[in-house]
């Protein structure tokens, strides 16, 4: 039933503040000593020991009063009497609300469940009515019952028993009217139907969906067990009994219990120990249920253990592997599994060994942090196992992924292996024979060309044909690795064959793309990608040097310099590398300016050049460069309107230019370009279904959403941020090794949280920001994409500050600054972020009353903003940070003036405040279309805010400093 009293740490009931373990031990010690004293001696003892700690004194006195009250009744009753439930008249035949009670169908420690039907003639329906048993209607139990009713009212899911109605009986007891489930406990259902392992797993995934739904609504069940999961005759599982569920408050810590209401056999180690309870506890309980569902027995052995032994097994002993457990000849196992014989047990052992062992044992890890991050991830691993895909629970390795691939594609793999073996064997023999006799030279040359043809087919035909398939990223890398190996071996024996070197260079270039090009599907192996680029560059340089008048080879060289610059956008070498690329295409623009391929390369070089200009703070130069790139793309369209990729190139150029204009130029022109690009992308997605175009559309929507935030249009921004998540969710789930897609999803969720924070919905924003940051960090990216960890941490701090959790916000801002300082010398945005976060830290310090510390931080922020450089280059993010720092210094001076008693010092402080506010307004004059959410992606004051602060300073100084009459 889920009704049970539980001893809880202070802070668990009635909304009282939480308490850590050390303080709770202090409370228990004082309580024990006070109980041993005579009543007249207790109060002086507590007054002395608590030494003015009013909260500690109140806590101990409250528990002491409860103890004294319990001594008068509960502790003086015999144990047998306490174990007997209070005798109450049956309710069968009576009416509760609009329902007639037909029969009792269940009861627990303090609750009863009845079958009832509608009594008022409105319609015919049988229901289950649940209410507190008479004699247990204490305030705490009634409150627990009302909490269950509130929880059920918030849950509407196919696999959760629905709440239909509720009320209070004539004798004052609350009741629930619930969906009547005609079904069996899930274990009994599976045994009776003799369900296969796959069928049981599919049934279990539905249970996981219900639990995940509850978790998404911040509800932890805490008592998941087979008896609380009924399966209807139609095969639909229903989750019951939220009587001890916990509503989570995302702004508070996890609940701590010393002895929680639970079913011990299904409780997690943290529940048994009384540690904080999180969603990971439900993951563990589901793991126990799945263990029983597949093996027919508990992971802790027989059911005859003493409570002490059971607790020890739960907290200290790792369960036996499920595949091993099913081999044991035990009576309990035989009964639960329908009496399997040895042959059946061996078959089940083979079925569970491997993935299922690892999945279940991962869910049953003793440490919550080592379990699945969510029930959804648990269920997803089961789905991947059922579909023959690699699972998270198994350590990743090339051998494991190859084995899973072969299991799914046995016929194709065998055929490919035979073909490859035949080709390689033939080549090896041909080369060997070529050295022996001239007679074999022709055959060896043919085999040489066959391997080269095969390698080129792998690079340009087979690779390209699977590049858009979900989940194909690891396979693409495998293909390219093999092709490069073949070409590399051939190159060593080719005596400097220029054509072969060109092919090999392209192989390395394609391999680098799959390894770590963040503009396409990749494995996040940035270091390996850079090494492949270096090899490609050396080969392309050799080929270009040998063919100085060949336009294609010169373009290949320019492309390689450009790709090197792309990897070094945020570090000084990037500018030199893009200048090398431009130096190669400069003469080509003169001699072959109408060549579409030359214009394509030049346009892409302008994209990288503009990105580097933006990275070093030349924002307006970047606008001009991006305009030139768009112009070239439009010329290509005019010259070659049937080019299948030109529309995508134009849309991308419009997005980049539109975002830059929205941030640092004309916001109206910027959003117009973004609108055009999004319309074009939507057409291309419908026409091609290309995943790359889908990702570009998602990126464009996010950039438009940022612009809408600057305009204060929160509804439009939220809608645009939500669409990329919908577009990318399925591709990311189908391709878990594609770190680019995984990071896109986490960044998209972060942007949703940031939009909520900008709208002032801090309590909604904070859990989303924290979850997305944790998910992003779990990818362990070599290079950051999107806003990056520093900005993510800073927005967590923004939400904490918005909730007035100033110590936590201060700590989070300082962490963000530490992260960003690692990249401080790399690019301008990092410096601007550090300056802006400095103003945020100072603002929190002002709210905490630490005015001197705040003044120091604002001064540091001004130094970081480097205003002379920023004014010369019109570096808008730096100007905004400087404006905020000046305004903050004005706030500090004004606050100091209010508390200064010396008239002369006060006048000086008011004058200083006015000067700082005016400096802030002077900087704001340089910022086009200022807004609260600015182009630096942070919240700041507006010129209107600063002007109001200046006016307030003027008013206060005139009142305070006017001469006395």
**Mind telling me the catalytic residues?**
223
Beta bridge partners of 796: none
Which residue is it, tokens 């001064």? Answer: 859
DSSP reduced 3-state for 804: coil
Q: Order of strands, edge to edge, in the sheet holding 163-168?
A: 95-96, 99-107, 111-118, 126-132, 174-179, 163-168
- Taking the CA atoms of residue 304, residue 308, residue 313 and residue 315 in that order, the dihedral angle to the nearest 10 degrees is 150
Question: DSSP string covering 2-29, please?
Answer: -----EE-TTSSTTPPP--HHHHHHHHH
Q: Report the alpha-carbon distance of residue 52 to residue 192 in Å, rounded.
A: 65
Output DSSP code: residue 939: B
Q: Report the alpha-carbon distance of residue 168 to residue 110 in Å, rounded.
A: 16
Which residues, at least 6 apart from 347, have a Cβ–Cβ distance to it below 8 Å? Answer: none
Which residue is it, tokens 């035909």? Answer: 461
Which residues, at least 6 apart from 275, have a Cβ–Cβ distance to it below 8 Å? Answer: 256, 269
Buried b (16+ CB within 10 A) or exposed e, 210-229: bbbbbbeeebbbbbbbbbbb
Q: Report the alpha-carbon distance of residue 105 to residue 339 in Å, rounded.
A: 30
H or E segment and range at residue 257: strand 255-259
Which residues, at least 6 apart from 473, have a Cβ–Cβ distance to it below 8 Å? Answer: 514, 521, 522, 523, 735, 737, 738
- Taking the CA atoms of residue 837, residue 840, residue 845 and residue 849 in that order, the dihedral angle to the nearest 10 degrees is 160
Q: Report the alpha-carbon distance of residue 272 to residue 315 in Å, rounded.
A: 7
| Distance set, CA 422 to CA 417, 482, 491 (Å) | 8, 15, 21
Q: Report the alpha-carbon distance of residue 69 to residue 66 in Å, rounded.
A: 5
Which residue is it, tokens 């494991």? Answer: 400
735 touches 743 (CB < 8 A): no
Which residues, at least 6 apart from 56, have a Cβ–Cβ distance to it below 8 Å? Answer: 23, 26, 27, 30, 50
Question: Residue 661, CB half-sphere, CA atoms under 13 Å: how many?
Answer: 20
Burial label for 831, CB within 10 Å (0-12, 13-18, 19+), is buried
Q: Which two structure tokens, joined as six digits, stand for 196?
A: 């296969």
Neighbours of 899 (CB within 10 A): 9
CA-nearest of 93, 221, 238 to 180 is: 238
**In angstroms, how far is CA 235 from the centroid of its own chain?**
33
Neighbours of 103 (CB within 10 A): 11
Q: Report the alpha-carbon distance of residue 355 to residue 365 in Å, rounded.
A: 15
Which residues, at least 6 apart from 578, have a Cβ–Cβ distance to it below 8 Å? Answer: 561, 562, 565, 605, 608, 609, 612
CA-nearest of 625, 527, 612, 526 to 574 is: 612
Which parts of 640-690 fold into alpha helices (H)? 646-664, 667-688
Buried b (16+ CB within 10 A) or exposed e, 816-830: bbebbeebeebbbbb
Q: Report the alpha-carbon distance of residue 375 to residue 62 in Å, rounded.
A: 39
Question: DSSP string covering 463-513, please?
Answer: HHHHTTSTT-HHHHHHHHHHHHHHHHHHHHTTTS-HHHHHHHHHHHHHHHH
């Amino acid at each position: 039933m889920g009704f049970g009293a539980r001893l809880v740490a202070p802070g668990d009931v009635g909304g009282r503040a939480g308490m850590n373990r050390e303080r709770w031990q202090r409370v228990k010690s004082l309580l024990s000593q006070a109980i041993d004293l005579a009543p007249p001696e207790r109060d002086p003892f507590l007054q002395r020991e608590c030494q003015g700690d009013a909260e500690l004194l109140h806590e101990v006195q409250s528990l002491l009063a409860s103890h004294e009250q319990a001594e008068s009744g509960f502790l003086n009753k015999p144990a047998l009497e306490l174990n007997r439930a209070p005798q109450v008249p049956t309710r069968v035949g009576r009416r509760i609300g609009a329902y007639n009670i037909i029969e009792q169908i269940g009861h627990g420690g303090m609750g009863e469940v009845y079958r009832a039907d509608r009594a008022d003639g409105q319609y015919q329906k049988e229901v289950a009515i649940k209410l507190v048993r008479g004699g247990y209607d204490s305030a705490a139990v009634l409150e627990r019952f009302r909490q269950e009713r509130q929880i059920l009212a918030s849950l509407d899911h196919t696999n959760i028993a629905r709440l239909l109605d509720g009320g209070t009986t004539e004798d004052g007891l609350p009741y629930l009217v619930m969906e009547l489930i005609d079904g069996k406990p899930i274990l009994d259902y599976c045994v009776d139907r003799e369900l296969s392992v796959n069928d049981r797993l599919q049934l279990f995934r539905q249970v996981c969906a219900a639990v995940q739904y509850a978790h998404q609504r911040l509800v932890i069940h805490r008592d998941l067990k087979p008896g609380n999961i009924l399966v209807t005759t139609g095969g639909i599982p229903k989750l019951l009994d939220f009587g001890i569920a916990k509503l989570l408050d995302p702004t508070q810590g996890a609940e701590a219990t010393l002895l929680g209401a639970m079913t011990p056999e299904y409780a997690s180690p943290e529940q048994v120990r009384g540690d904080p309870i999180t969603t990971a506890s439900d993951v563990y309980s589901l793991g126990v249920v799945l263990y029983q569902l597949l093996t027919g027995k508990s992971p802790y052995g027989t059911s005859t253990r003493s409570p002490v032994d059971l607790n020890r097994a739960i907290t200290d002993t790792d369960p036996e592997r499920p595949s091993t457990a099913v081999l044991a000849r035990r009576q309990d196992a035989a009964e639960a599994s329908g009496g399997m014989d040895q042959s059946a047990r061996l078959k089940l052992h083979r079925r569970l060994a491997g993935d299922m062992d690892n999945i279940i044992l991962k869910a049953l890890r003793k440490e919550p942090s080592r379990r699945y991050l969510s029930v959804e991830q648990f269920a997803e691993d089961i789905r991947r196992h059922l579909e023959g895909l690699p699972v998270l629970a198994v350590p990743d390795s090339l051998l494991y992924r190859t084995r899973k691939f072969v299991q799914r594609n046995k016929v194709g793999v065998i055929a490919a292996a035979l073909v490859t073996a035949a080709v390689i064997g033939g080549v090896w023999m041909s080369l060997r024979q070529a050295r022996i006799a001239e007679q074999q030279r022709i055959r060896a040359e043919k085999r040489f060309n066959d391997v080269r043809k095969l390698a080129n087919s792998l690079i340009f035909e087979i690779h390209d044909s699977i590049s858009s398939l979900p989940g194909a990223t690891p396979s693409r890398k495998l293909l390219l690795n093999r092709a490069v190996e073949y070409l590399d071996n051939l190159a060593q024996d080719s005596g400097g064959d220029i054509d072969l070197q060109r092919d090999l260079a392209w192989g390395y270039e394609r391999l680098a793309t799959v390894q770590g090009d963040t503009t396409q599907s990749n494995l996040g192996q940035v270091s390996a990608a850079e090494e492949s680029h270096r090899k490609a560059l050396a080969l392309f340089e050799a080929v270009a040097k040998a063919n100085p008048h060949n336009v294609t080879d010169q373009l290949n060289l320019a492309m390689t310099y450009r790709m090197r610059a792309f990897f070094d956008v945020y570090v000084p070498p990037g500018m030199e590398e893009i200048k090398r690329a431009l130096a190669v295409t400069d003469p080509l623009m003169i001699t072959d300016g109408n060549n579409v391929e030359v214009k394509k390369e030049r346009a892409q070089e302008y994209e990288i050049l503009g990105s580097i200009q933006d990275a070093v703070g030349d924002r307006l130069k970047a606008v001009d460069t991006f305009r030139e790139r768009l112009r070239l793309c439009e010329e290509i369209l005019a010259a070659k309107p049937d080019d299948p990729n030109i529309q995508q190139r134009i849309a991308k150029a419009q997005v980049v230019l539109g975002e830059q204009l929205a941030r640092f130029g004309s916001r109206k022109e910027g959003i117009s370009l973004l609108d055009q690009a999004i319309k074009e992308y939507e057409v291309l997605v419908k026409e091609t279904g290309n995943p790359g175009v889908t990702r570009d559309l998602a990126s464009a929507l996010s950039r438009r959403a940022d612009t809408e935030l600057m305009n204060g249009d929160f509804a439009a921004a939220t809608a645009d941020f939500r669409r990329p998540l919908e577009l990318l969710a399925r591709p990311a789930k189908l391709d878990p090794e594609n770190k680019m897609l995984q990071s896109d999803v986490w960044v998209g969720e972060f942007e949703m949280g940031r939009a909520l924070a900008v709208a002032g919905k801090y309590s909604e924003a904070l859990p989303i920001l924290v979850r997305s940051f944790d998910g992003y960090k779990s990818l362990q990216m070599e290079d950051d994409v999107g806003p990056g960890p520093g900005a993510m941490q800073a927005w967590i701090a923004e939400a904490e500050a918005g909730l007035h959790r100033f110590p936590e916000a201060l700590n989070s801002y300082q962490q963000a600054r530490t992260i960003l300082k690692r990249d401080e010398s790399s690019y301008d945005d990092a410096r601007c972020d550090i300056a802006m976060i400095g103003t945020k830290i100072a603002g929190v310090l002002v709210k905490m009353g630490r005015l001197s510390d705040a003044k120091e931080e604002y001064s540091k922020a001004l130094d970081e903003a480097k205003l002379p450089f920023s004014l010369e280059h019109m570096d808008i993010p730096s100007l905004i940070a400087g404006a905020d720092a000046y305004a903050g210094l004005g706030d500090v001076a004004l606050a100091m003036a209010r508390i200064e008693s010396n008239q002369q010092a006060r006048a000086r402080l008011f004058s200083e405040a006015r000067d700082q506010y005016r400096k802030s307004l002077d900087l704001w004059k340089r910022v086009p279309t200022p807004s609260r959410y600015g182009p630096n992606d942070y919240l700041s004051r507006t010129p209107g805010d600063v002007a109001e602060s200046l006016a307030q300073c003027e008013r206060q100084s005139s009142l305070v400093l006017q001469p006395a009459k």
